[in-house]
Amino acid sequence: MRADAARNLSSVLRTGARLLAEDPSTSMAAIAAAAGVDRTTVHRRFANREALLRAVFQAKLDSAERVLDEARLTEAPVPVALHRYLEGIIPVAREWPVDTRRMMQKDPEASARREAQSARLSAFIQRACDEGYLRADIDAAWARAVLDALVDSIAHRFPAVDAPQAADLVADAFLRGLGVA
């Protein structure tokens, strides 16, 4: 039963993330139905709708944090770290399509975690600038935003492209652009 409980809970989280990404006002009833459990069961596991949202965000933050750790953003060579980050973060964006930036204003703890992760990535971009991998006239904040946008785009608009190829496409567009040399 513990096993079942954990499976259903995770099923509710994944299903909820998917539905909430399409429509942030999806009802608990709809999520429960899509996850194949009763509405009251969801309410027993998550006190509030807000608690369910928190759990979804936490799951996404956990996955993203693992990716950031394993990419070794501060130690590995910039091109290697970039590719490892992309190949890891794209599946995370796909599995948890919820937009953490919009939906977490009310959760200071999750917000702080997100900020910390964001800072790690920004520091990496800054290092890429400093080590000469990015053009000198490029603003680091803009570079950061471009990378995020490319990741979201390949993750959600091209779900059929597998992670390694998606990472290649993003890194290529990010560094070289799409125009002719």
Q: Which residue carries 């597998």 as its tokens? A: 162
Give the whole-angstrom CA distance, residue 117 versus residue 89: 12
Q: Pick the binder of DNA from 50, 70, 162, 172 (CB under 7 A).
A: 50
Mask 132-171, x = binds its own copies (CB under 8 A)?
xxxx--x--xxx-xx-xxx-xxx--xx----------x--
Q: Is the distance from CB of 4 to CB of 36 less than 8 angstroms?
A: no
Least distance (Å) between residue 18 CB and DNA: 16
Q: Considering the rule CB under 7 A, would residue 43 count as an interface residue with DNA? A: yes
CA nearest 128: which of 173, 52, 74, 168? 74
10 Å Cβ neighbour count for 150? 19
Q: Pick the binder of DNA from 15, 19, 22, 44 (CB under 7 A).
A: 44
Q: Which stretch binds DNA (CB under 7 A): 37-45, 69-77, 89-97, 149-157?
A: 37-45
How many residues make contact with DNA (CB under 7 A)? 23
CA nearest 157: which of 104, 100, 93? 93
Q: Which stretch binds its own copies (CB under 8 A): 11-19, 61-69, 85-93, 172-180?
A: 172-180
